[in-house]
Amino acid sequence: MTKEWTPDELLEISRAYQRTSLLMAAAELDVFSVLGSEPMSADRLATVLEADRRGTALLADALAALGFLEKVDDQYSPAPGIVEALTADGEASILPYVLHGAACARSWVQLADSVEMGGPVNTGPGIRGAAAEQASYIEAMEVVNRRWAPEVVASLGPPVFEHMLDVGGGPATWSIAFARAVPAARITLYDQPEVLPISRRHVEAAGLTDRFTFVAGDFYSDDALPAGADLAWASAIAHQSSRQQNRDLFAKIHAALAPGGHIMVRDVVMDDARIAPPFGAMFAVHMLVMTEKGGTFSLAELSEDLEAAGFVDVELAREAPDMSSVVRARKTDALPK
């Protein structure tokens, strides 16, 4: 059934970004940590943040209007639930997700340009700088996945492998879930050198360091991936690339796998019309504004690209309305002609 829009609803969507911008500015300025330590006036907050007084006062009032802050006699403090979720040391913190979102939002607001030109607009880093934004990006992936990873892994059936290669393993969320599901297995986590310290930290915190090998590299430019695994996990990387780039990557994975090994591609899998799941249609726009060539793909497209790289028995091992569909395939030793 198609929705019938009213003018007020369309106005509401037009300015919904204002809430997002206020939340993100507060997170980037670390307003919630400062006010979480003690309530204070806008003037004092501006001093602590080394920010503009008028700007800080207007921001604080708008955050109070949104309910993120409470204001009592000119003293501001975080509303219930905010310190836990939006400070770095908060229990169940999603701060990295919000900080990564702030960086992405600067690209999203250039969407008309991106559609006209067909690719991302370089917007430059925010007040935290490019390195901090990259770290937030990696940590954001941990925030998004940590709760669901064990459940998704369990839903794939009893995993049968001895050695897993995590291609672009990031914060190791998935590797850790697999390592816990298969206590005897070894994991090789492969990602860019600046990402590995973050991976290592999470693996150490999980007490799994002795079962992990960390290999620095770049799956786009390296000729070969770390060899010998009987399961390759390629999580949320297919959408960053074009179909040709995915074929090249799948071929490198195929070459690196032991005979009879499997590949599992975790990603959003679209219907053939490319409008369901709705999450995927929105995510494709995210890739448009954030990457040169990325997008979302249907099962038919992913199957074709896996088969072109030499994989057989392609199946949709898990179907989900979000990023956690999983396509599985098996390595044969001979490439098709």
- Minimum CB distance to other proteins smaller for 273 or for 334: 273
Q: How far is the CB of 17 from other proteins (least distance, A)?
A: 4
- Minimum CB distance to other proteins smaller for 111 or for 216: 111
- Minimum CB distance to other proteins smaller for 275 or for 335: 275
Q: How far is the CB of 97 from other proteins (least distance, A)?
A: 7
Q: How far is the CB of 317 from other proteins (least distance, A)?
A: 25
The CB-side HSE value for 23 (13 A sphere, CA atoms) comes to 23
Distance CA(157)–CA(148), nearest Å, equals 15
Q: What is the SS3 assignment for 158?
A: coil
- When computed from its CA atoms, the radius of gyration of the chain, rounded to whole angstroms, is 22
Cβ neighbours of 51 (radius 10 Å) = 15
- Minimum CB distance to other proteins smaller for 96 or for 310: 96
Q: What is the SS3 assignment for 93?
A: coil
- Minimum CB distance to other proteins smaller for 175 or for 296: 296
Q: How far is the CB of 134 from other proteins (least distance, A)?
A: 17
What is the distance between the terminal CA atoms of the chain, rounded to a whole angstrom?
47
- Minimum CB distance to other proteins smaller for 76 or for 214: 76
Torsion of CA 182, 186, 191, 197, to 10 degrees: 90
Distance CA(112)–CA(202), nearest Å, equals 38
Cβ neighbours of 87 (radius 10 Å) = 21
Residue partners of 4: CB distance under 8 A and separation at least 6: none
Q: How far is the CB of 192 from other proteins (least distance, A)?
A: 25
Q: How far is the CB of 300 from other proteins (least distance, A)?
A: 16
Is there a contact between 229 and 282 (Cβ–Cβ < 8 Å)?
Answer: no
Q: How far is the CB of 20 from other proteins (least distance, A)?
A: 4
Distance CA(325)–CA(280), nearest Å, equals 11
Q: How far is the CB of 242 from other proteins (least distance, A)?
A: 10
- Minimum CB distance to other proteins smaller for 65 or for 160: 65
- Minimum CB distance to other proteins smaller for 44 or for 286: 286
H helices within the chain, ranges in order? 7-14, 17-29, 31-37, 42-49, 53-66, 82-86, 95-108, 111-117, 130-145, 149-155, 173-181, 196-205, 243-256, 278-290, 299-308
